[in-house]
Amino acid sequence: MLVLGVDAKTVAFRPTERPGEELQKLSYDYLVLAMGAHLAYDRIEGFAAHGHTVSDLFHGQRLREPLFEGGYKGGPDTIGSARFHQGDGAEGLQPYPGGSIPYAKAACEGPVREMTTVMASYLKMEANSSPSRITVFTPEESIAADAGENNIKAS
């Protein structure tokens, strides 16, 4: 965010999804500042040339183009989570009596499971291929470990 116009209820910002993005301005009724995580795609070797993500509209469209406009050859595909570096900002914080904020090896992996399901359907229906061409990976012991073992078994 570059300019917060409190009286005018406007905010000017420069999206960070890709370098050189133009300044954008929005009006608001209520403003919530959520200081989210930095997605470090630049730390994943080969991602810029060969990787895809659905974390924002720009990258989602970049993935959609080969799938629906040609170029995709039906796999193999790899879907997964990189190691999560959460820092120590919650060290000693107890969000409820006797509780603590756990350290995770991977961030929320719901999107990984969702994308795997969507891609499996796409491979069967659109690409004349098979879900067996998908490899799923995680730095955790199992995919979506943060959801709990019972949730993983249920799905």
| Tens digit of pLDDT at every position of the chain (155 positions) | 567 777 888 888 887 766 778 888 888 787 766 656 667 778 778 888 888 888 888 888 888 888 888 888 888 888 888 777 666 666 667 766 766 666 777 777 888 888 899 999 988 888 788 889 899 888 888 877 767 666 656 55
CA–centroid distance for 76 within its chain: 21
pLDDT of 88 reads: 62
Residue 71 buriedness (CB in 10 A; 0-12 / 13-18 / 19+): exposed
**Collapsing DSSP states into helix, strand and coil, what is residue 115?**
helix
Residue ranges covered by each domain of the chain: 1-30, 73-154
Phi-psi domain of 120 (left: phi exceeds 0; alpha: psi -120 through 50; beta: other): alpha
pLDDT of 121 reads: 92
Class of the domain covering 73-154: alpha beta
Q: Residue 112 corresponds to which tokens in the numbers above?
A: 């990984």
Distance CA 67, CA 3 (A): 38
E strands, 68-138, in order: 77-80, 134-137
The pTM for the full model equals 0.62
Distance CA 65, CA 67 (A): 5
Q: Residue 45 corresponds to which tokens in the numbers above?
A: 């070797």
